[in-house]
Amino acid sequence: MIKVAPSILSADFSKLGEEVAAITKAGADMVHIDVMDGIFVPNITFGPAVIKSIRDKTDLCFDVHLMIDSPERYIQNFVDAGADLITVHAEATTHLHRTIQAIKAAGVKAAVSLNPATPVEALKYVIDELDMVLLMSVNPGFGGQKFIPSTLKKIREVKELRSDIDIQIDGGITHETIGECIEAGANIFVAGSYVFSGDYEERIKNLKK
Ligand SMILES: O=C(CO)[C@@H](O)[C@H](O)COP(=O)(O)O
Ligand SMILES: [Fe+2]
């Protein structure tokens, strides 16, 4: 089944709670929350306090995408804030396996993300521990960028490593780019600018069909 996870990076921050309620009503399957620290990526967004403030606006899964250096330092803070699924970047932590164990020990689902230039081999010795793999289809840091086509090959490579794993694609997803990702084997789609620049319900429906 195809799932759509609107990224609130493209929402109106001045009314974030209402935006989360609106995408829930519009048929979103998860809420994708992009946390950026200005070090791992050249942008800064929000932290646990903001996430906690919107937790009671929806019952949907809070899919927290950590684009922060050494994410192991903050796992418990994001769990306490209401995260259901925590994604860390393989490039951001020295001890990836230990970080995954820490996420699971904290009682939430664990995923690993790879930047566009990072080979799928980076997942080889941790993939059996994971609930999901996130493949970045743009360089992380900003919404509204163009989909990088080499992601399609990476989707197939992840499938070869573990055929039953959820594969989430993040960056440049629209009604035009989603189809080839589904064909390659991905099943969860983050969409920021595409969903938030139109009628939310119509845009989510377009992606699902
Ligand atoms: O993690 C990121 C960006 O680093 C994403 O989640 C973006 O928010 C996706 O935005 P669009 O490409 O869909 O506009
Ligand atoms: Fe993201």
pLDDT along the chain (209 residues), means of 10: 98 98 98 98 98 98 99 98 99 98 98 99 98 99 98 98 98 98 98 98 97
Identify the pLDDT of residue 139. 98
* Segments forming the whole domain that contains residue 42: 3-208
Q: For residue range 58-108, list pLDDT tens digits in order.
A: 999 999 999 999 999 999 999 999 999 999 999 999 999 999 999 999 999
- Rounded-to-integer distance, Cα 129 and Cα 133, Å: 11
Number of domains in the chain: 1
Residue-wise DSSP of the chain: --EEEEBGGGS-GGGHHHHHHHHHHTT-SEEEEEEEBSSSSS-B---HHHHHHHGGG--SEEEEEEESSSGGGGHHHHHHHT-SEEEEEGGG-S-HHHHHHHHHHTTSEEEEEE-TTS-GGGGTTTGGG-SEEEEESS-TT-SSPPP-TTHHHHHHHHHHH-TTSEEEEESS--TTTHHHHHHHT--EEEESHHHHTS-HHHHHHHHH-
CATH of the domain at 28: 3.20.20.70
- Rounded-to-integer distance, Cα 206 and Cα 209, Å: 5
Q: Does ligand 1 come within 6 angstroms of the Cβ of 87?
A: no
Substitution site in 190, 194, 203 for ligand 1 pocket (most atoms within 8 Å of beta carbon): 190
Identify the pLDDT of residue 184. 98
Distance (angstroms) between ligand 1 centre and the Cα of 191 equals 7
Q: Is 84 a catalytic residue?
A: no
Substitution site in 8, 10, 197 for ligand 1 pocket (most atoms within 8 Å of beta carbon): 10
Shortest-distance atom of ligand 1 to CA 137: 12
Pairing of strands 85-89, 61-67: parallel
Q: List the structure tokens of 57.
A: 């606006």
Q: What is the mean pLDDT of the chain?
A: 98
Distance (angstroms) between ligand 1 centre and the Cα of 4 equals 13
Say which of 29, 34, 37, 63 is annotated catalytic: 34
Distance (angstroms) between ligand 2 centre and the Cα of 89 equals 11
